[in-house]
Structure 1
Amino acid sequence: MNTPFYQLRFKQNIIREFTPNWFAVVMGTGVVALIMAHFPVASDLFYRLGFILWGLNTLLFSLFSVLYLARWLFYTNEAKQIFSHPTMSLFLGTIPMALATVLNGLLIYGINEWGEIAAMIALKLWYLDVLLAVLVGWIVPFCMFSRQQHALPNMTAMWLLPIVAAEVAASSGGLILNVAPHVPHAVSILWFSYILWGMSVLPAFLVLAILILRLALHQIPEKELAISSWLSIGPIGTGALAMLLLGQAAPHVLQQHSLQMLGHFLQHSGLLISLVFMGVGVWWLGLAIFATLYRFKLGIPFNLGWWGMTFPFGVLILALQQLAAQLHWMSLTLIVHSLMVVLLGLWLLVSLKTIRGAYTGQLFYSPCLQMWKQRQENSHS
């Protein structure tokens, strides 16, 4: 039976049961805050609301970071079990992606409020984000290959989480170069962002290919994991967004090195790649909607996985918005505005359910801790 939030003992319940999937809340809230800066109606009002929401999201990220670090400090042996859990370990990828929404908000909102200092802070956070994304992108797949048990029928799109973090960092690198083009080492940031894109998008498409095989052989995941279908949109939307932002910044950044022709090529190729990616993204979006509706009739229980709808959908909207702006495509702009409203309503729904689940204690549960306890009991019996 779940214990209400106000009855939980802080160290023994919240910290001990705190898991990295809580950072998905920061991801989903952060992408909504970024989108609100581009709302078409009552733009000043939504900009201020987005700034407030980004501030709240930054506080959430700080709180979750303290809680998760405290778990490693006070319950080290239990925290280490995450590397053996085939599902919870995947959510380590949400940590750098959550940090990316914080630093992106600093670029969009912070520069207007605090000036150049915000860009410098965002740049330092980007270096940290890249480090975390690369480490997670290496360590988690290696643990999958070496110490975890996986089977094709149990595969879901959550396999993408540790891989996609690097391309999210790449899109943040593109945003830095567009908003603050005179930051130190701009050319290095540009090239390294393309490398991050390659080490994320290409493996992600390999996973998506296997996922299609899994869906064809073993059908849609059970109702508890039905929402995970939305995660397939994430690497496609983020990959397109990164290409658009990096391509837009490339001509200016490379001009100082007499590489203007290469810069224009990167800009034009980014537009072409993003157009193709949007076609794939729309295809996966349709499948995700159908899968959700198919399982909805059975009742989809709420869990933190519901946040998997908001961030992938949000980055797809950001990519479409950037594509419409660069191509001056008015009809696509109208579609983007409609999708923004849908995302805002979806975020409100998931947020209210999360607040309720946190209050009742339902969401404070660590599967890797339960697996570790079960192993200990089996070893003593």
Structure 2
Amino acid sequence: MQGAATPASERSVRFLNPAWFTSVMGTGVVAVALGQFGQQLAWLEPVAWAAYLLSLLMLAGLLALWMLKVWRHPQAALADLNHPQFSQLFPTLPIALLVTALATRQIGPALLGENLAVPLAQGLYLLGSPLIFLFSVGVAFVIFTRLEVPLKEASGVWFIPPVSALVVPLVGGVLLADFPRALHRELLVWNGIFLGIGLLLFIFVLSTLLQRLYAFGRPSPHMLPSVWIGLAPVGLGILAPWRWLEGGARVGLLPEGWSEALPFVGVALWGLGLWWFTLSLMFWLDMLWSQPSRERLQFTPGWWSFVFPLGAFTLSTLALSRALESGLLLLAAWGLFAVLVGFWLVVLTRSILAWMGLKPLLPAGS
């Protein structure tokens, strides 16, 4: 009712939350998951196409609004950069580009044709990967030099700037063979650099977040969805080195057998994901049971934290189940997929309703 009472003149792109780019990430990863699981259920394939086209539309719309915000309200964009939480969401823009590149390569050819899908995926990758580095380092610099964020304010959002690097070798490995042969070696090195950044910084941030949970307990209800972000580096940590080595082997720069042991290493990391998924689910269910309805039903773009991280973990589970021929992991993959689609439908519906009222263009709390 508050939003309805707000004058239309107060709606402005200056209030656009950078967290909305996570909607592109979430819808893109759901499209990829639908395509992968559609290999067993053919009727999922057209649903994957629809989700992919929706992610393209969302990316184009949000990019236009974001560029308009930077152009017309640069001070608002700078204020976001100096915000302890909003600043760490800036890398979601290039992540959205890379996730769209992956979905374009895997789903796009059936809709757009190889001649359009492959160059589009390459362009998104070449644009997104350097932006990942610039945004993640830039955000870290601002936080370390301009802000003093207490440990109590730590949340899963802290994973985003450093762990965004893991998306680069995952997408780069899939796309490597599509590039000219003269670029293969340098792109393989480029992807490997990001692999080191993402995996090592994941360990540091994970230890900090666990320390915060031990010292201060679970986050407040509105930040609780961010706990699910911890699933993203687990899923990406399994898939990124795997696809990186596969890409190198595919173009003849690495031995074929180097990637064969990774599923056995990955299943150990998957155990951490299972633990984190269970803990996150228990946090959420406990909050739903004990908090007032006005708190548990309040929608924010942060709800997309339920989708992309779970999508990355689901895709890694499916990949491990196929590589290891494990019925247990295959059953887990289908279970996670069902939860993923359920979360996506709920969050997508709430997002559409919010945008129908242009609430994302209202001041926070309106």
Shared topology, TM-score over 0.5? yes
**C-alpha distance in 2 between matches for 1:314 and 1:34:** 9
Give the C-alpha shift of residue 38 in structure 1: 1.7
Structure 2 unaligned regions, length at least 5: none
Structure 1 unaligned regions, length at least 5: 371-381
**Pick aligned residue for 1:308 from 305, 308, 313:** 305
Contact kept? 2:15, 2:360, Cα under 8 Å? no
**Pick aligned residue for 1:294 from 280, 283, 286:** 286
Three-state SS of the structure 2 residue aligned to 1:44 is coil
Scaled by the length of structure 1, what TM-score is found? 0.88
Contact kept? 1:303, 1:363, Cα under 8 Å? no
Scaled by the length of structure 2, what TM-score is found? 0.91
**C-alpha distance in 2 between matches for 1:41 and 1:322:** 13
The range that moved more, 293-302 or 315-324, is 293-302
Give the C-alpha shift of residue 138 in structure 1: 0.3
Give the C-alpha shift of residue 326 in structure 1: 2.2
**C-alpha distance in 1 between matches for 2:192 and 2:333:** 26
**Pick aligned residue for 1:326 from 304, 323, 326:** 323
Contact kept? 2:13, 2:69, Cα under 8 Å? yes
* Per-residue Cα deviation, 1:277-305 (whole angstroms, up to 9, x for no partner): 21111111111111112222204222111
The equivalent of 1:119 in structure 2 is 118
Task: Give the direction of change, closer, same or farther, for the CA distance of 1:167–1:41 in structure 2 (3 Å limit).
Answer: closer
The equivalent of 2:236 in structure 1 is 238
**C-alpha distance in 2 between matches for 1:182 and 1:329:** 37
Task: Give the direction of change, closer, same or farther, for the CA distance of 1:8–1:326 in structure 2 (3 Å limit).
Answer: farther
The equivalent of 2:149 in structure 1 is 150
The range that moved more, 132-141 or 160-169, is 160-169
**C-alpha distance in 2 between matches for 1:217 and 1:364:** 36
The equivalent of 1:192 in structure 2 is 190
* Per-residue Cα deviation, 1:163-194 (whole angstroms, up to 9, x for no partner): 2221112211122137x476652232222212
Three-state SS of the structure 2 residue aligned to 1:43 is coil
The equivalent of 1:247 in structure 2 is 245
The equivalent of 1:282 in structure 2 is 274
The one-letter code of the counterpart of 2:3 is T
Task: Give the direction of change, closer, same or farther, for the CA distance of 1:264–1:81 in structure 2 (3 Å limit).
Answer: same
Give the C-alpha shift of residue 348 in structure 1: 0.6
Task: Give the direction of change, closer, same or farther, for the CA distance of 1:42–1:209 in structure 2 (3 Å limit).
Answer: closer
The one-letter code of the counterpart of 2:245 is G
**Pick aligned residue for 2:340 from 343, 346, 358:** 343
The equivalent of 1:229 in structure 2 is 227
Contact kept? 1:5, 1:359, Cα under 8 Å? no
Length, aligned pairs only: 360
**C-alpha distance in 1 between matches for 2:311 and 2:79:** 32
Mapping for residues 60-75 of structure 1, pairs under 5 Å: 60-75=58-73
Task: Give the direction of change, closer, same or farther, for the CA distance of 1:5–1:205 in structure 2 (3 Å limit).
Answer: farther
* Per-residue Cα deviation, 1:227-262 (whole angstroms, up to 9, x for no partner): 111011111111111122123333232x3x5x52xx
**Pick aligned residue for 1:15 from 13, 20, 29:** 13
* Per-residue Cα deviation, 1:327-376 (whole angstroms, up to 9, x for no partner): 23233223212221221111111111222233344443556x99xxxxxx
* Per-residue Cα deviation, 1:30-80 (whole angstroms, up to 9, x for no partner): 111111102258733321221121111111101101101101111112221
The range that moved more, 88-97 or 327-336, is 327-336
Contact kept? 2:98, 2:129, Cα under 8 Å? no
Give the C-alpha shift of residue 276 in structure 1: 2.1
**C-alpha distance in 2 between matches for 1:82 and 1:32:** 28
The equivalent of 1:52 in structure 2 is 50
Provide the identity percentage. Answer: 25
The one-letter code of the counterpart of 1:80 is L
Pairwise CA RMSD of aligned residues? 2.4
